[in-house]
Amino acid sequence: MHCATPLAAVLLDLDGTLLDTAPDMVRIVNMLRAHESLAPLAYADLRQYVSHGSAALLRVAFPGIDGVRFAATQGRFLELYREHLVVETRLFPGFEQVLAALEAHGIPWGVITNKPGWLTEPLLRQLALYQRAGCVLSGDSLPVCKPDPLPLLTAARRIAVAPERCLYAGDALRDMQAARAANMVGLAARYGYIGAQENTAQWPVTAWIDSPLDLLAWVGLDRIALQLPAGAHS
């Protein structure tokens, strides 16, 4: 399933959609647990919370921790994460080809995340993606963040593409709610950080994708783009 008329822009959530950031975030959570003489938690048990940010991760890792200690633990987590943003973090498989194809065909792409800018920008810069993106909006770029549609509408304005000609891909309910409210095609990334407890049948998605490569059909590039070598971006 995809649009009869190809879309003109690709907008993306960051954690769990464009980038596989879970290995680095989970590693730091377990570093903090080790400091408290606690055994590490299984990667699979923590991965599903990564898209919901550090607070959600830490509430699972340190259940029952009081407010003051929680704030201190979260502060330490963010400090360590900022220092080790890109150890194992990578583009999800297929995304280098997707971005190269979009760029080769003049289709703008951008990032809209609830992650704060002081983490988003250095993360994208270290992966040489920041300068390639047509726009980057972080959780603190505007007075509101997803599920409010304003970040998506602002991104569409910045890349000069009408919202209804944009797709927004994400791996959380708030991503699909924002896309629906912004009148964009909302594609939910099944490969992302979605927990078994999520009632995904109720998400307002246009369609599900199993791989970043599935995005190409929505912008009319399904076959041509795959012939590009992985490093062929301008």
Looking at every residue in the chain, the average pLDDT score rounds to 93
What are 64-82's pLDDT values in tens digits? 898 899 999 999 999 999 9
Q: Amino acid identity, residue 203? A: W
The domain spans of the chain are 9-20+89-227, 22-83
Residue-level pLDDT at 144? 98
Cβ neighbours of residue 79 under 8 Å, at least 6 residues apart?
A: none
Q: What is the mean pLDDT of residues 20-25?
A: 98
Q: Do the Cβ atoms of 170 and 189 come closer than 8 Å?
A: yes
Encode 39-74: b = buried (16+ Cβ within 10 Å), e = exposed: eeeeeeebbbbbbbbbeebbeebbeebeeeeeeebb
Tokens coding 122: 């250095």
Q: What are phi and psi of 217, to 5 degrees?
A: -60, -30
Cβ neighbours of residue 207 under 8 Å, at least 6 residues apart?
A: 1, 2, 185, 187, 188
Residue-level pLDDT at 5? 81
Distance CA(196)–CA(194), nearest Å, equals 7
How confident is residue 225, by pLDDT bands cut at 50, 70 and 90? very low
By annotation, the residues acting in catalysis are: 13
Residue-level pLDDT at 234? 40
Q: Whose CA is closest to 102, among 181, 166, 175, 21?
A: 166
Cβ neighbours of residue 193 under 8 Å, at least 6 residues apart?
A: 15, 16, 22, 47, 48, 49, 50, 51, 171, 172
Q: Is the pLDDT of residue 233 over 70?
A: no
Q: What are phi and psi of 55, to 5 degrees?
A: -60, -45
Angle at the Cα of 14 from the Cα atoms of 203 and 161, rounded to 5 degrees = 80
For 64-78, 91-105, 143-157, 219-233, which range has the lowest pLDDT when averaged over its residues? 219-233
- What is 9-20+89-227's CATH topology? Rossmann fold (3.40.50)
Residue-level pLDDT at 178? 98
Cβ neighbours of residue 198 under 8 Å, at least 6 residues apart?
A: 173
